[in-house]
Chain A
Amino acid sequence: MVDAQPAAPESSGGPPLPKGRRPNPQIAQLKRTLYFLRRNTLALVGIGILLFMIGVAIYSPLFPAPNDQMTLMCGTSGNPLAGSGCLCTYPIGTPPPSPNCIAVDQYFPSLIAPTLTLTSGGPLPLGSITNTPENGYFYNLEAGLVKGAPWSLGISAAVVAAGASIGLLLGATAGYLGGYSDEVIMRFTDIFLAIPGLLLLIVILATLGSAFPGLFGRLGILLFAFIITDWPIYTRIVRGQVLVTREQKYVEAAKASGAKNGRILLRHIVPNSLYPVFVQMSLDVGTIPLSLGVLVFLGFSIFPAQWFPEWGNITAHSVNTTFLEGLFTYCETAPTCVFPWWQIFLPGLTLFAFGLAVNFLSDGLRDALDPRLRR
């Protein structure tokens, strides 16, 4: 698809290049991509939103946690909300005042306040950061969303990077070697592609989900499940791309000049097959918080704490509690209730903006990298 020695940029509508020295083709290609990206408004909007979110993620450790206090609830550690209404709050670092206090967020005490009880006083007004007894212990969405940015972005990036690496390795091997190794790898990939992604996630999490309790055990299982679900599509894409690339003249030239298979793969074939992988990666990044949200919505407790700050988790929990408790229970008993729309709007908007941004970016990348769509 992507020509290794690009035609004169002027003829394909690219930016004018400086006269004189012949530029490095890869640098020229990158410049051309950036040029076309810059002309695409939607892609720019997507990049802007993404940069903002990354900024929030970097800033998030500085964000004031609700009161910087450890809010604990009585109850069992498996079901901390069982004893709702009985709360103990005390500063981080001090021992709990009563043995009945069980940490809800035992790993990250100051992440978010894990309390949402609509029946005990109404939803927390927008814009309030503090979470005090006078406010009635409400779930603090702003804090949760800000604190959730590094987790969401990190999990998505890790999954996509790992999945794409596996796919690149297997797909390039299959496409380049051909023959039996191609058959074996691709049949193996087909098996994984045949199972709908969400169902594979569900099956893995249902059987292994509680195998390793604790933060890193659970996150490890989560990442494992997502990587298992994600890699096949990359293998298929890379293999298809390598099949085209390996017939190019420059690969033949490298072969004729005596390059080894490994060098041809790494220096010539893989770099020229990467572009569709980038497009798919940017698409996939956006779906991972959504899938996490779906899993939580379906009832999986995949996170170490119920109110673990992850965007999908927060959205699913907010939708569940707001609609089930808020709409159909709270509002039936309190006829003057104000429907807490922001409890859905804020996390939903965050997820939506993230998905939209990566889609814009992916669409822009596709247009910039595929010469047939550029025109």
Chain B
Amino acid sequence: MKLWIYIVRRLLLLIPVIIGVMTITFVLVSALPTSVHILAILGPTKAPCGYQPTCAPGTIGSACPANGPPCQNPTYVRAINQIGLNQPYIVQWGHYIYNALTLNWGYSDAKSFASVNLFGSQSNPVTSILGWYLPYTLELAALSLMIILLLAIPIGNYSAVYRNRPFDQSARVLSFSGFAFPGFLLAVLVLYAATIFLSGGVHATYCSTQSTAFNQWYGSWPVKECLINSQYPTWIGQHQATSPTGFPTVDAVINALIAPNAAQAQQNWYLAANSIQRMILPALVIAFGSIALILRFVRNSMLEVMNLDFIRTARSKGVPESRVISYHAGRNSLNVTVTVLGLTFAAFIAGFPVIEDVFGLNGIGLLLVYSVQPTQDYGLIFATTLLFTFIVVFANLTVDLLYAALDPRVRLG
């Protein structure tokens, strides 16, 4: 089968999955009170009744239209008609799917924890908010994936070579530890250690204005309160992704390349390096948590490959052992690594909210954490879930394609 036919087929097969995911979220959405719908779909400025209800408290919610005395507020009834909450569920489902596919994901709640803390109690379209925050998460994901691969492949290979020796056993225990250790606890401990070693003890202020080593390493992109000597240009600050791509590191590099003079170029290079430096600790924590499974699979697949005939052939014709391991066996166990990456991607991405919360990284995960705080922001919660699901689905597709590219024996189809 040709590659493009395979891609088209896979994309077509994705449609039922994506519609199914949206149906699940729709079932949950329709369990929400009416006022939440009005708010999330129309936005606070346009919602006549949901946001500043003139109905008596308690009547605006789910009790109002279904049973009990009808709410006599005309604006409320008009809003319900306007957003179609009085229509049959199948029609509402159709609207939901259409809106989700056209990226019309509603508005964030201006009074929710997320809005107040991230964009100054303004209500914004959810899609724009996701657009501001997604690049940060993607950069962090890329860095952690790089760390995972750089560690898992050599360690897994050598575990297989030195099977059941101390190296293998300690790698095994280490990877189990990553699996069993609570991620939030590890993140907090790493942050605590960073405070102690880099800024002189527990008593140091959480986010001081001086440029201490902790400030350099504290794994955040610039938060308003924690700018280092105010060196950050506005376009790299919080929720202001007006720069070329929106990716902080990439933007810094681009700006360094097109800088008019040497001083500005140097400052932008410094920004790019600093941005990566701030991602290192969180990326390491994420890698530690999700390396276990990949390590196991790499080791087991390497064990299987090492017993195959062509390895014996290579050895018997006098190929040096190091080359046998790295070239003959390692290359062939790579396929499994790629497959496992796809399988574990969902777990990998689900670890982000906690890490971004602890380290204060302005990514999608932090958005999710903030939007589940007591004044819950349902628009953001559901949109973030859909976005994460899309990321996972497309990552799986990419992995399948990579698998085919790495192993010529794999027949697409």
Contacts and interface: CB of A to CB of B under 8 A. Distances in A.
Contacts of B389: 194-196, 199
Interface of B: 16-18, 20-21, 23-25, 28-29, 31-32, 172-173, 176-177, 179-185, 188-189, 192, 195, 202-203, 205-206, 292, 296, 300, 303-304, 346-347, 349-351, 353-354, 357, 368-369, 372-374, 376, 378, 381-382, 384-385, 388-389, 392-393
Contacts of B382: 203
A299 B203 CA distance: 26
A323 interface: yes
A211 B378 CA distance: 15
A236 B100 CA distance: 28
Contacts of B173: 42
Interface residues of A, number: 54
Contacts of A203: 25, 28, 381-382, 385
Most chain B CB within 10 A, of A203, A294, A327, is at A203
A351 interface: yes
B20 A187 contact: yes
A355 to B, nearest CB: 3
A354 B179 CA distance: 11
A50 interface: no
B29 A199 contact: no
B346 A299 contact: no
Contacts of A372: 304
B188 A323 contact: yes
A356 B385 CA distance: 30
Contact of B378 (A206, A316, A319, A358): A206
A202 B372 contact: yes
Given A204-B28, A327-B202, A194 B17 contact: yes
Contacts, number: 151
Given A206-B378, A208-B28, A363 B347 contact: no
Nearest to A207: B28
21 contacts: A191-B16, A191-B24, A193-B346, A194-B18, A195-B388, A195-B389, A199-B388, A202-B385, A286-B180, A290-B180, A298-B353, A298-B357, A299-B369, A299-B372, A316-B184, A323-B188, A323-B192, A327-B192, A344-B189, A359-B179, A373-B300
Contact of B392 (A196, A206, A348): A196
A194 B21 contact: yes
A87 interface: no
B354 A297 contact: yes
A212 interface: no
Contacts of A298: 353-354, 357, 369, 372
Given A198-B350, A298-B369, A328-B206, A315 B28 contact: no
B31 A208 contact: yes
Given A206-B372, A206-B381, A290-B182, A191 B17 contact: yes
B17 to A, nearest CB: 5
A347 B337 CA distance: 34
A332 interface: yes
Contacts of B393: 194
